[in-house]
Structure 1
Amino acid sequence: MVDDLPVASVHLVGVLPHLDRPFEYAVTPTTAAAGPGMRVRVRFSGKDTEGIILERLARPSTDRALAPLHRLVSEDVVVPPAMMRVCEEVAARSAGTVGDVLRLALPPRHARAEKADRAAEEKDAEEKHAEAEDPGGTEHPAAAPRPGDRYVGLSALLARAGSPEGPVPRASLTLDAADTWTTVAADAIADLDAALGALVVAPDQRDVARLSRVLTERGIEHEVLSGAEGPEKRYRIFRRILRGATRVVLGNRSAAFAPVANLALAICWDEADDLLEEPRAPYPHTRTVLQCRSAEERCALLFLAASDSVTLRALADHGYLARLEPVPGPVTAVRPRIVAMDEYLREREGPSGRSRLPQEAMKVIRRGLEHGPVLVQVPRSGYVPAIACTFCRTRAQCPHCSAPLSLSGRNGPLHCRVCGRREDGYRCPECDRTQVRAMVVGSTRTAEELHRAFPDTPLKVAGGAHGALADDAVPERAIIVATPGAEPAPAGRFAAGLLLDADALLGRAAFDADVEAVRRWRGAISLVRSAEDGGEVLVVGTSTLPAIRDLVAHRSTVFLDRVLADRHELDLPPFSRVAEIVGEREACRTFLETVELPDGTDVFGPVDLEGPDAAGRSRAVVRLEPSRSRELADALRAGIAARSARKAKGSLRVRLDPPDVF
């Protein structure tokens, strides 16, 4: 052992849940350079295990002889103290282990990439110094106001970014359709001091590429950290970020842990996108990671979106976020003309007005093709059919837990997949009728129908089996049929938009189907030109539905107010903290019997899962009020550790706030 601080406290990565705590090892002369945040290899339970040093100590806390540090992997401080505290907080909020969070935060080390980057470090430092003296991307014509300048409070948030004193600025901003998020984000980054860092997280790699192009055009140096690169390139980029070679980092979900030096501003685009849900344990949402970083590193937090989010709205109502609204202006300048296929249009058209592609839709496409490309959005295939009333189309919900009801087989009884309740005497709460039907989604024939109607017009399909369509691959006057989320973004925007099968998109078997449908629709609308430039959008669906009426109204809060009121009455998120336990039937039942849940916790299930791969597996849902969410997370975390310690049989997965729980 060395004489100076001979003990190292090490947190192991990838060990069992009940071993998720620091362990002490002896520092040897060959590992004397090991310090907090460095990677080491140790012997644990007979295996060579990776760990992160937490601190060096003068004396051990035990009388036992300490095992030596096996090897110092690198002298790079890959997990600074602040990032370690972020990982610990993320693990606590997600009922997971710090070791699992560290695996999400750290890319695998690549020795060749590290060696090459060390050789280039001196040169990069000189270039960084030159860039700091002459920051690029801030030259804008004085007569052309920037889109972000229209949003009251955004400049104040950016002015406070990086301030060591006072409250940390955090805000949500719902953009008008005419404003692109890439422009607003680039303006915000350009306004930061050259010494401050910025982090931008977007759900899709295409979104990251779009922002990267805008920053490149403005001369703003940045790094893109995503999962698309190979191990060598990814680690080289990670190390450049770690040593402060760049102040701006872009990426998708995994980039939320990027060790940006002097981080002052974190931006998240489209927080409600399910791609920001981590599919690996402990399943933290990107929003949670950024919230923890904002609290620990005092960085400003800005959520950008094209549609209001229920979660962000709830955080704003509780005072955590400020809502940034634009200065009032002409509606025709900030969004396209939006029309819903109402009863007047249907009756005026006649029998074809009730069809899936009415003549009014064809007229919109023809008018749009005269000036540019036209976007036709159709619902994504593969949605689980929801059950709805045949008369008023109100979705059938379980009267016990408010989850959507499902149909067993073609003519089987209605039942709930959350609490297991069988509903034989269902009556619609709106019209008191008993007949229900499955709202199926059929969109595969759309491209064929449009091709027959417009045989001389170029037609391309984006999404599904056809894959993504590049932004620059959209012909000047073409019809683009796309599924939600797969729409390309041409430079000149679309001249018109058509939202087909709106009722089917609202008919997903999920409690948030209406909010998600509005988010998808607004994402497509944001790709269409403003009304002043001739842009128009037609929504083909039941115009009286609140979600469709919300599209026609400009910046109305009525729809989201109603959604929040309904969820509060039904005790659904965000007015409750929900966890899902999925696993083998006996493992799920035993876990619920042994875990010490807080008093007042509602337990639904366990219920056997359906499907060819679900044999012998069950699911349970637990629910508690949000003010006691940490109690629920701690209880589940302790239950998982206890199960691991006694080597309980069977696989089990615990997720807090899963997006598809109801």
Structure 2
Amino acid sequence: MRPGGGAQALTTSRTAAAGEPEEEQASLFAAPAVPVPEPAPSDPGRDTAARASGLRTTAGFAVVDELPVASVRLVGVLPHLDRPFEYAVTPDTAAAAAGMRVRVRFSGRDTEGIVLGRHEHASTDRALAPLHRLVSEDVVVPPPMMRVVEEVAARCAGTVGDVLRLALPPRHARAEKSDRAAAEKDAAQEVDPPETAPRDSAADEPAPDTPDTDEADEADGAAEADEAADTEGAAGTAAVPTEAPPEPRPGDRYPGLGALLSRAGSATGPVPRATITLDSADPWTTVTADALADLGPEQGALVIAPDRRDVDRLSRILTERGIGHEILAGTEGPEKRYRTFRRILRGATRIVLGNRSAAFAPVQGLALVICWDEGDDLLEEPRAPYPHVRTVLQCRSHEERCALLFLSASDSVPLRALTDAGYLARLDPVPAPVRTVRPHIVAMDQYLRDREGASGRSRLPQEAMRVIRRGLERGPVLVQVPRSGYVPAIACTFCGTRAQCPHCAAQLSIAGRSGHLHCRVCGRREDGYRCPECDRTQVRAMVIGSTRTAEELHRAFPDSPLRVAGGAHDTLADTEVPSDAIVVATPGAEPVPPERFAAALLLDADAMLGRAAFDADVEAIRRWRNAIALVRTAEDGGEVLIVGTATLPAIRDLVAHRSGAFFDRVLADRQDLDLPPFSRVAEIVGDKDACRLFLESTELPDGTDVFGPVDLEGPDAAGRARAVVRLDPRRSRELADALRGGVSARSARKARGSLRVRLDPPDVF
């Protein structure tokens, strides 16, 4: 349920208690909160327009003659009231048009709304309240964008008002005023361009020593003839210069990319949609910049990346090439964000970069949408109705007919499913020698371990030290570890049970080299720990963090600069990596040196694969391949060592080049187990009674599998339960409509307790 629903439920309790029908309740909600005085007798024509049109309105205001009824979609109302409402247009709000922001009185409060359209007659016979105020004449939600918002709400079983909250940044009056002044200044310069430097009248007169007779013309003609003769003679003896062939671009290795860009923005024919798994030698920033440069001057583009640092890297490349663009990110302040939003809205720039919050950016003439690393969990919206960026971009591609391109360093299960279904085209590169497109990748297999003896079984075998030593001779070296901290997880030495805090059940960890067991949640120090299963006191480290790894590497390489990135450590800028440094980073926090890393070491591969998630192997491959993409090719001396069980399918997939065997097996296993994407799954989490009553009162489609509800575990899970429902994906819209109807019915009944409904949650299993 949308946060804040309880406060709105209190404002409508009077109407519900009266037992009035829902239509009569809506009539009261749309009426003014306080009575408006009747018009004075001296103003008999005040309501003439309303009476002439037969429009019933509340007393005390005038309406316009033309299209006096406005259909408004309200933002932030309860789920069962998430539908358009009609209001009367007053002379003060006569400029209201589709897509503009307005303020209306609803349920006794001043509420924001978006105008859907203007009509001549009302669709109801109840009295209409007036549009309270026209916030701005900016069309912030054009009709195509409103259709996108409605489609996203329908797919995610949410409300249109909640999606509008995600799509629209809060209005900032000062930013709007300054940007409107800048727009007027730009328009004035286009109409009346600034004059060039004034010409000197004396310069137009002939110089005193210059003859102004025909002799000067004859002299000039003779000089031109001599010059032409010299030029012709030189052309006859010298070779004609030829243009150098253009340098090959990384995107040229993917033949289908050119065809997609040529069809981008086409008003006829099928909309091109594709996915590309890039080789390590092809930076996504370069491929994206080349694609944006190929667009026409009137074509717009939107690029979505998970992290702000990814956006900044692409922005630097576009700035170097002189390609104008805007960055719309959620990390900016309200004023700067709204100023950027208005610049995009009025078409001051047609190329927009951003992260998850920029998925709804109102790009003018949108022809191409590019999404980098779709599998990153940063692209999952944590606010209701929890849409994934992939869903938003699919809806925009359908409604605005813009080309859709997914770029990634690793395959994705959802994208593979869309490719197999024919929705996306897979663009593979032309064959090339492996040494030229990726680094030399080696897994610590049984042969290498047996060759080293006892050292081969350690966390940092001698082969890893040799890889680091060889890499430092050519450039920086990357060491990737799964977790930050010192020893973030420990377990019993005998039975392997995780060590948990007896007070809050959180994991116990060790903060330093000589530190004690402590809880990072409640701060409890546990000196006398005993395993609850076997009653033993000895513990061992399950995962070694980045701090402990950096400490060990510093002892082994004391003369090399050491940098730590991720977790409690600050992010490391790309330009702050010394040429002979060792960088210890967690997944996603790796910097990108200008010349790339000379080598990379992927530690604790088994620990990353052992996460308690059904997609742990797929996520591990994505993180590893993103790190491998930062290493030089084998032709330039780049190498990667994976320390883990070499026989595991996920590790073998890294060593193999462009093999689809692993993902084919994953898709086959998920189909046999009815796991996503071969089933549509929804999660219902909330109070026990609320979860149980919701399942009993909601009419789910036939054939829906219901699992639970079961009690949640944890210190903050008392009295809460969780249920999972599953249905065939071909009937996903039926499931979404049923859940949406159940939430609306629960809101109308003002049922007690909190409840949250999510479709396709990433951590459902």
TM-score (norm 1): 0.90
1:416-454 deviation digits (Å, cap 9, x = unpaired): xxxxxxxxxxxxxxxxxxxxx999322241111101101
Q: Report the equivalent of 2:199.
A: none
Taking the aligned partners of 1:438 and 1:90, their CA distance within structure 2 comes to 47
Structure 1: stretches of 5+ with no match in the other structure: 131-139, 394-405, 412-436
SS in 1 for 2:371: strand
Q: Does the CA contact (< 8 Å) of 1:20 and 1:99 recur in 2?
A: yes
Q: Report the equivalent of 2:73.
A: 11
SS in 2 for 1:42: strand
Q: Does the CA contact (< 8 Å) of 1:157 and 1:170 recur in 2?
A: yes
Whether 2:400 is the aligned partner of 1:297: answer yes
Whether 2:518 is the aligned partner of 1:456: answer no
Cα 1:649–1:327 shift into 2, 3 Å = same
Give the one of 307, 311, 322 matched to 1:204: 307
- How far residue 128 of structure 1 moved from its aligned partner, in angstroms, is 9.4
Q: Report the equivalent of 1:339.
A: 442
Cα 1:30–1:143 shift into 2, 3 Å = closer
SS in 2 for 1:465: coil
Q: Report the equivalent of 2:86.
A: 24
Q: Does the CA contact (< 8 Å) of 1:314 and 1:574 recur in 2?
A: yes
SS in 1 for 2:731: helix
Taking the aligned partners of 2:488 and 2:676, their CA distance within structure 1 comes to 21
- How far residue 273 of structure 1 moved from its aligned partner, in angstroms, is 0.3
Whether 2:543 is the aligned partner of 1:441: answer yes
- How far residue 198 of structure 1 moved from its aligned partner, in angstroms, is 0.2
Q: Report the equivalent of 1:637.
A: 740
Q: Report the equivalent of 1:163.
A: 266
Q: Does the CA contact (< 8 Å) of 2:691 and 2:723 recur in 1?
A: yes
Q: Report the equivalent of 1:100.
A: 162
Mapping for residues 34-49 of structure 1, pairs under 5 Å: 34-49=96-111
Q: Report the equivalent of 2:298.
A: 195
Structure 2: stretches of 5+ with no match in the other structure: 1-62, 193-242, 503-538
Taking the aligned partners of 1:654 and 1:375, their CA distance within structure 2 comes to 41
Q: Does the CA contact (< 8 Å) of 1:128 and 1:246 recur in 2?
A: no
Q: Does the CA contact (< 8 Å) of 1:124 and 1:245 recur in 2?
A: no
Q: Report the more deviating stretch, 16-25 or 580-589.
A: 580-589
Paired amino acid for 1:208: V
SS in 2 for 1:445: helix
Q: Report the equivalent of 1:484.
A: 587
Mapping for residues 466-545 of structure 1, pairs under 5 Å: 466-545=569-648
Q: Report the equivalent of 2:355.
A: 252
1:251-296 deviation digits (Å, cap 9, x = unpaired): 0001010000010000000000000000000000000000000000
Q: Does the CA contact (< 8 Å) of 2:490 and 2:499 recur in 1?
A: no
Mapping for residues 195-594 of structure 1, pairs under 5 Å: 195-381=298-484, 440-443=542-545, 444-594=547-697
Q: Report the equivalent of 2:134.
A: 72
Taking the aligned partners of 1:369 and 1:283, their CA distance within structure 2 comes to 44
Q: Report the equivalent of 2:41.
A: none
SS in 2 for 1:548: helix
Taking the aligned partners of 2:131 and 2:597, their CA distance within structure 1 comes to 61
Cα 1:409–1:455 shift into 2, 3 Å = closer
Q: Does the CA contact (< 8 Å) of 1:10 and 1:55 recur in 2?
A: yes
1:607-632 deviation digits (Å, cap 9, x = unpaired): 11112111111111111111011011
Q: Does the CA contact (< 8 Å) of 1:386 and 1:507 recur in 2?
A: no
Q: Does the CA contact (< 8 Å) of 1:441 and 1:505 recur in 2?
A: no
Taking the aligned partners of 1:608 and 1:2, their CA distance within structure 2 comes to 58
Mapping for residues 96-175 of structure 1, pairs under 5 Å: 96-124=158-186, 142-175=245-278
SS in 1 for 2:311: helix
SS in 2 for 1:515: helix
Paired amino acid for 1:442: I
SS in 2 for 1:289: helix
Cα 1:112–1:564 shift into 2, 3 Å = same
Paired amino acid for 1:248: I
Whether 2:62 is the aligned partner of 1:62: answer no
Taking the aligned partners of 2:436 and 2:91, their CA distance within structure 1 comes to 69
Taking the aligned partners of 2:169 and 2:275, their CA distance within structure 1 comes to 30
Q: Does the CA contact (< 8 Å) of 1:104 and 1:254 recur in 2?
A: yes
Taking the aligned partners of 1:189 and 1:557, their CA distance within structure 2 comes to 30
Q: Report the equivalent of 1:52.
A: 114
Q: How much is the aligned-residue C-alpha RMSD, in angstroms?
A: 2.3
Q: Does the CA contact (< 8 Å) of 1:439 and 1:504 recur in 2?
A: no
Q: Does the CA contact (< 8 Å) of 2:484 and 2:568 recur in 1?
A: no
Paired amino acid for 1:92: A
Q: Between Structure 1 and Structure 2, whose CA radius of gyration is higher?
A: 2
RCO comparison, higher one (Cα < 8 Å, 6+): 1
Q: Does the CA contact (< 8 Å) of 2:444 and 2:644 recur in 1?
A: yes
Mapping for residues 580-659 of structure 1, pairs under 5 Å: 580-659=683-762
Taking the aligned partners of 2:307 and 2:404, their CA distance within structure 1 comes to 20
Paired amino acid for 1:204: D
1:146-167 deviation digits (Å, cap 9, x = unpaired): 0000002000000000000000
Taking the aligned partners of 1:151 and 1:385, their CA distance within structure 2 comes to 44
- How far residue 27 of structure 1 moved from its aligned partner, in angstroms, is 0.4
Taking the aligned partners of 1:270 and 1:442, their CA distance within structure 2 comes to 27
1:465-500 deviation digits (Å, cap 9, x = unpaired): 002111111111100000001000111000000000
Taking the aligned partners of 1:176 and 1:640, their CA distance within structure 2 comes to 45
Paired amino acid for 1:520: R
Taking the aligned partners of 1:386 and 1:603, their CA distance within structure 2 comes to 36
Paired amino acid for 1:85: R
Cα 1:260–1:127 shift into 2, 3 Å = farther
Q: Does the CA contact (< 8 Å) of 1:162 and 1:298 recur in 2?
A: yes
1:208-240 deviation digits (Å, cap 9, x = unpaired): 000000100100000000011111110000000
- How far residue 126 of structure 1 moved from its aligned partner, in angstroms, is 8.0
- How far residue 62 of structure 1 moved from its aligned partner, in angstroms, is 1.5
- How far residue 129 of structure 1 moved from its aligned partner, in angstroms, is 11
Taking the aligned partners of 2:190 and 2:618, their CA distance within structure 1 comes to 44
